[in-house]
Each structure stands twice: as structure tokens, then as C-alpha cells.
Structure 1
Amino acid sequence: MNRHDDRPPRLLTLLRVKGIHAPEKLKVREILIADGRIAALGEDLDVPVHWPVHRVEAQDLIAVPAFIDQHVHVTGGGGEGGFGSRCPGIGAQEIAAMGIGTVVGVLGTDCISRSPADLLAAVRGLKSEGIAAYMYTGAYRVPPPTLTGDIQRDLAWIPEVIGLGEIAISDHRSSQPRQDELERLVSEARVGAMLAGKRGICHFHLGDGKRGLEPLRRLLSETEMPAEQIIPTHVNRHSALLEEAVDYALSFEACIDVTAFEIPGDGLSAFDAVAHLLEQGVPAERITLSSDCNGSLPEFDQRGNYTGMRVARNTALISDWQRLVQEHVLPLDTALGLISGNVARVLGLHHCKGRLAVGFDADITLLDETLQPRQTFVAGRRIHGGE
């Protein structure tokens, strides 16, 4: 707004849509937003005409909770092939164009030329552009790099830090941590999170090594750590690992994260993986989807030598999710949990995100009839689409 414009600012937004899935379908079509949160849901909401209201007419679109991507290389991943193989970072528009309102930033293999401080700066940059952004402290390696020199202090004193990760296991690029080292990391994250009132999950990168999920099975079998503290990702890297994930989820009532691999051959597609998990009896509420976008998709020969790389994007996350609904694997209300409500619960953000309800953050994605995101609002601010 022009600084010389003496008109009052538009402090409220009234959003009129075709329908609302909160995720359950509501019998109302209007959302009133105030101070970044949902103030009311209703039909023909009575807002005085003299109030400073911005009215958004989107009566051909349906409103759903904005998507949450818990695994994003916001500074770029890669580096396995030398300095020329470092992947680029990602911006707010590229995120919001896919209907994503919240991201969690991760470091990967390279925590030498990139650091938790770089990651925090990128996260705060996305926040300044309107995205709700968080991060994990740490990286592939053990002991993990941190901001303050201590996992507990990072969780306690840095608001954006909501967990530890991505710690690599069963991968030739990991630091081959011992079991007692993994146990210490999870306990450190748990106590630090308790002090800060956070969930403090430990986000584990799964490679294609023969140990698979065994280190995490031992964590849950041999310690007092709750399953909700430990989240394995990339569990659809290959069929045998996915079968392990089925048993892991059912045995420990645990949540697992499926990666939306973009290129055939990188692993089972998120669509195929979710369909299989459901067929094997894993409840939908224990499954989440993430993109791994702007991370590297490196290729290695049988001896572990680097042969090439591609850069992951977040488009497969949305397209595979759409297929789950369009091919009737899951109804829309349940499928939304995989990229919104379930993720919010896993991250400990379920008190304010992952649902359209009074008092929750006004993080809203508007979908067309093909379930394609057309507009994205975060804290009531339109970040993508519209006028």
C-alpha cells in the first residue's frame, strides 16, 4: 500500500469458495480470516460493510488445509560429485505453487560447505516471504552439526528448530553410527524438545543398505523412547525396505514417511508405496508424504562410485497425492492427512496447522476440480495465485 494512502488497512479477509474440506467436508462456504488465523467458518457471514475487509471470490475452488512438506532441502542438497554437483535452493513461490504452506528444512550429505546457520538463514528468508518454515538441526553425520554446539540448546533456544535430522542410516554416505550413538541422539532430542514444549522428532534418512530399519527397531525395542519420536523417511526406496516398513509400522504403531520420488527407478512411486501400505493394513493416519525437493538424486555404480545426479522437485508430491484420490485409493478427506493433518501431528504442529478450524492458522490451499492448487494462503496472506 502506498505510504501516502490514508485509507485504513484491510485487516480482515473474507474468503468465499465452492466448498470446504477441513479435512472433513463442511456445510459452509465462507472463511473469515483475522490476524493470520481463522476467525469464523460459516455461510453468509455478516461482516459490517464499514469494516476493513478484503473479499476474495473463489467460488469455483475448494478450500483445504495448506499442505505441509516435512523434508525440503531449502538451501539445496547434493555435493556427492564435487562442488559442481551442489543443488540450488528453493524459493517461496516454487513452494506455494504446489499448495504447500509449511516446510521443514534439512541438510543432507554436505554439512561442510553448508551449515545449520545457512539453513536457518534460508528458513528465515522463506518466513519473510510468507512461508511457514522450520528446520531440523543436524545432518547426515554423527555427531551432528548444530547451531549452539548442543542438540538440546538448539531445540530449547531456536524457535525454528523443531527436531533433529536428517540422520543417515543404512547408507554408504552415512557416518555409520553405532547403536549407542543413535540412542544418545534420540534422548538428547527428546529432552531438549520437552524443555521447549516441542515434539522434537528425530528424522532418519534410510538408504538402501542391508541393515534397513533394524537400527530403529532396536531403538524402540531396547530403549524407553516412544515411536512418535522416531520418523524414518525414504521407506519406499525399494520393495524390500517397504516391506520392512509395513512390519515396523504395525509392530510399533509407528509413523513412516514416504518420499515422492520424481523419476522412475529412484524407488517405488509414492502412489504405489501408499497403496501397498494400505493394502497391508497400515492405517492411513500413520503415513505421511514428503518431497525431498531440491535434494540430489545421485547415481552410483555397484562399487559406490558417483556416476551422475539429478535435482529433485516437489511436483511428484502433488501428482502422486492427486492419483490417490482420483483412482479411489483414498477419499479426499483421508488423503489430505498424508500431506497436512498427519504431518502436523508428527511435527507437533497439530494445535495450529493441518486443519481448517476457528483459531487455527489461516493456512489454506484452494484446489480446482482436478485437485490442482490454484491459490495458497499462509497466515491469511495470499502467497500464490489469484489477482
Structure 2
Amino acid sequence: MMPIDDRPPSLLTLLRVGRIFAPQPLEATDILIADGRIAALGRDIEVPRGWPVRVVEARDLTAVPAFIDQHVHVTGGGGEGGCGTRCPEITAHEIASMGIGTVVGVLGTDGISRSPADLLAKVRGLRDEGISAYMYTGSYRVPPPTLTGDVQRDLAWIPEVIGLGELAISDHRSSQPRQDEIARLVSEARVGAMLAGKRGICHFHLGDGKRGLEPLRRLLTETEIPPEQVIPTHVNRHRALLEEAADYALTFDANVDVTAFDDADEDDLSGFGAVSLLLQRGVPVTRITMSSDCNGSLPEFDARGAYIGMRVAGNSTLMADWQRLVREEVLPLEQALGLISGHVARVLGLDDQKGRLAVGFDADVTLLDDDLQPQQTIVAGKRLYARDGSPT
């Protein structure tokens, strides 16, 4: 459980920082927060005497939009080697300690011992602890497991459900869905989301199979589904798939999601290397996002597809790869922020409330030191993490 703040509540919070990247650099150095949202941005903001305000002095830190991780096994992934290989759940502290304020939960391979109901319960638990949490309905499997028995109803009636996924393609663990089944599921998610006023993306797990992105190419070529409706992830699983992802993004003006793999065999396939290559191939930075696959399994299989071992993915690699992109000047800070905040918010359909520091937006703020390390994480105006151990 996150530490409980037992101090008298303040209706307002005033953050005084050294710099603000919103993601563009601002002249402002103060952020006034009211009712979980940003009420004002400016310099030397004064609150009338007697108003209930909490002032947070952080003049040595830089404020940026809190990070968004669109692919987290919040209930734990794994299970490919039996019940003893199920990965653990993630905690709110583990999320916030990396500067992440928003997560989207996924099931993955195991939609049997873990269900959408388990996932929803975990998402609501994280919300109770202050994390902004959502979920995809479904799993690798086709037809997908759902909460209501229907993909459209899940999206229409369950507020926390913002998409369908992660559906597995080009992977020996997938249900090997036919092309018409893929089209039908994406269409179901699209219509259900429209009824609820959501984006309703379909989050596709890419394995290392020879078909690669061909099912999604066919989907966008043979149907009226817009490219924004589908997000392929793990596109840096191997070099040929990464090259194909670059062509896919350019051909369809589509989004691709890079995974910050803990076990990348080559630097070119790390989150850092994959983003660098996509940029070199001409993919606009606005079409690239990064996610962690946190608390999912990193299984190993032999040439015949038999399970031989696994490790558990963390989210520290996401931060390390992102920091490296800035430190090695692949991207300036204001552009790099989009990879794990603004672009992700747009992809998920949350860009009217997250991914920017602007008046009226959720007060989700990460405070970075000069080495780009998260020192504090604030979600909806409440401090969930402080590296120095001060009360949250």
C-alpha cells in the first residue's frame, strides 16, 4: 500500500520549480493545482492570504508531464512454463518511482488463471492508491475473454476499458486468428468505443513469426479501418521486424510502439536503438511511442517452441532507454517527452486531459533532476512518490 497522508487537506497546491517543459519549454516556473487539475501556470504566483494552500519548493527540479505506460502486466504476466512461472503483480510504488502516473493494464498469454475481472479489480485498486489506471479487455486469445461477454459492451459500459488487447499475431502462442477474425474484432472495438466516446484502440502483440506485420497491412489495405485504430507493439523484437515497422509507419502514416526490452540481445533492438533507427528511416517522432511490458514474462523457447526459462520484465529499462535518447542528443527533451507522455496520450485518446502541462489538464507532474531521474511523481495533484522519502 502507498503511504497514507494524514495531514489536513489543502484545497490548493503550489509547485515552485526551476523549469517547466509542457512539453515545450515555458517561461513559467509555478504550477497551481486545484481539485486535481492545473489551475494556473506562471511566475511568482501569489495565493490570497488565508487560502488553504500547500507550497512545494522544488527550484532545483524540472517539471514535465507525468509519464504514461500503455503496456503493463499489472496483475503479472507469464505462465508459459506452468503455474510456477506466473509473474507477480506490480505495485503503485513501483509505478510512481519511475515517474509514471498513468498505466494501461494487459493480460497477455494467460487469460485463463487471470481474467479481465482480475485485471479490472487491480486497475481499480491502483486508482484507489492514486495511480491513473486503465485496461484493455481481452488477451492473446481469439475470441477474447471479456467482462460482459462482448467487446462492444466492455468498451461502452466499463469506464476503465479503453481498448482491446493485447491480441497476439505472428507468434506461436497466439490463437492464429484468420484475417476476417482480426477485422471483425477491430471493428467491434471501434464501434463500442464510438458509443462511449473513446478511442478504443486495438493493441497488437507482435511475435517473431515470419508473417510480421502482414495481418495489419492487410487490415488497413482491405478494410476502412483507420490506422489510428491499431497499435502494434514489440516491433523491435528482431531487426527485420523493426525495418518492417518503419515501412509500415511510413506507408500508412501509422503509429508503432517500441518495447524497452530488459533482455535486448543487441543494442540496435533496445528501446534506445529502435527509436533511433525508426527516426533514421524517416518515421516522424509523433508516430513513435515507448512502453515497458512491465511485469510480463521474458520467456525463452528452443527451436521447437518448447519453454526453457524466463525472467520478469521491469520498468527501469524504459526510463534508462528514454534518458539515453536525450543524453546522447538523439532527441531534445521536449520531443523525447512525447514518446512516453504526449504521443501516448494521443494514441490512447486521453490527450484532452493528459500528456501536457496546461490549464485544465490533469495535474499529473513528474519532477526530474538534472540527470533526468524522477525525484517526485504527482498524479491528480497528489504526490505519490518522493525519492528523498519525504511524506507523500
- Counterpart of 2:301? 300
Q: Which stretch shows the higher mean deviation, 55-64 or 261-270?
A: 261-270
**Partner of residue 360, structure 1:** 361
Query: What residue is the counterpart of 1:17 in the other structure?
Result: 17
- Output aligned runs, 1:1-387, within 5 Å: 9-265=9-265, 268-385=269-386, 387=390
Measured in 1, the distance between the counterparts of 2:5 and 2:154 equals 40
- The C-alpha deviation readout for 1:228-252, integer Å capped at 9, x for no partner, is 0000000000000001001100000
Farther-moved stretch of structure 1 (43-52 vs 32-41): 43-52
**AA in 2 matched with 1:177:** P
- Relative distance call for 1:288 and 1:2 in structure 2 (3 A) is closer
Instruction: Provide Cα deviations, 1:295-327, integer angstroms capped at 9, x if missing partner.
Output: 000000000000000000000000000000000
Aligned length: 384
| RMSD (Å) for aligned C-alpha atoms | 1.2
Cα deviation, residue 264, structure 1: 3.1
Q: CA deviation at 1:125?
A: 0.5
* Runs of 4 or more consecutive aligned structure 1 residues displaced over 3 Å after TM superposition: none
Within 1, Cα distance between the matches of 2:125 and 2:238? 35
CA distance in 2 between counterparts of 1:264 and 1:70 reads: 20
State how far apart, in whole Å, the 1-side matches of 2:140 and 2:385 are: 33
Q: The residue matched to 2:367 in structure 1 has which SS?
A: strand
Letter in 1 for 2:47: V
Q: Give the CA deviation at 1:265.
A: 1.9
Report deviation, 1:9.
3.2
**1:49: how far off?**
2.3
Structure 1 unpaired stretches of 5+: none
* TM-score when normalising by structure 1: 0.98
SS state at 1:25 partner: coil
In structure 2, C-alpha distance between the alignment counterparts of 1:215 and 1:162, rounded to whole Å: 22
SS of the counterpart of 1:26? Answer: coil
Q: Within 2, Cα distance between the matches of 1:252 and 1:258?
A: 17
Tell me how far 1:15 sits from its aligned partner: 0.3
- Paired amino acid for 2:337: L
Which amino acid is 1:310 matched to? R
Provide the rounded CA distance (Å) in 2 between the counterparts of 1:282 and 1:38. Answer: 33
| One-letter amino acid of the counterpart of residue 205, structure 1 | H
| Structure 1: distance between partners of 2:71 and 2:144 | 17
Amino acid of the residue matched to residue 332 of structure 2? P
Shift of 1:2: 9.9
Structure 2 residue identity aligned to 1:186? V
Which letter does structure 2 place at the counterpart of 1:312? Answer: A
Work out the CA distance in 2 between the residues paired with 1:245 and 1:124.
34
Percentage identity across aligned positions? 76
Secondary structure at the aligned position of 1:192 is classed as helix
**Could you say what secondary structure the match of 1:194 adopts?**
helix
| Cα distance per residue 1:36-82 (max 9 Å; x no partner) | 00000000112012100000001100000000000000000000000
C-alpha distance in 1 between matches for 2:263 and 2:207: 17
Gap runs ≥5 in structure 2: none
Supply the AA of the counterpart residue of 1:69. D
Structure 2 residue matching 1:119: 3-state secondary structure = helix
Query: Separation in 2 of the partners of 1:81 and 1:213?
Result: 27
| Aligned counterparts of 1:336 and 1:9: Cα–Cα separation in 2 | 31
| Shift of residue 263, structure 1, vs aligned partner | 1.8
User: Whole-Å Cα distance in 2 between the matches of residues 306 and 196 of structure 1?
Assistant: 41
2:264 alignment partner AA:
P
Task: Tell me how far apart the structure 2 counterparts of residues 325 and 9 of structure 1 sit (CA, whole Å).
Answer: 37
Counterpart of 2:249, as a letter, is A
Amino acid at match of 2:242: L
Kindly tell me: are residues 172 and 58 of structure 1, through their superposed partners in 2, closer, same or farther at Cα, counting changes over 3 Å? same
The residue identity in structure 2 corresponding to 1:296 is S
1:325 corresponds to which letter in structure 2?
Answer: V
Give the secondary-structure state (helix, strand or coil) at the position aligned to 2:54. Answer: strand
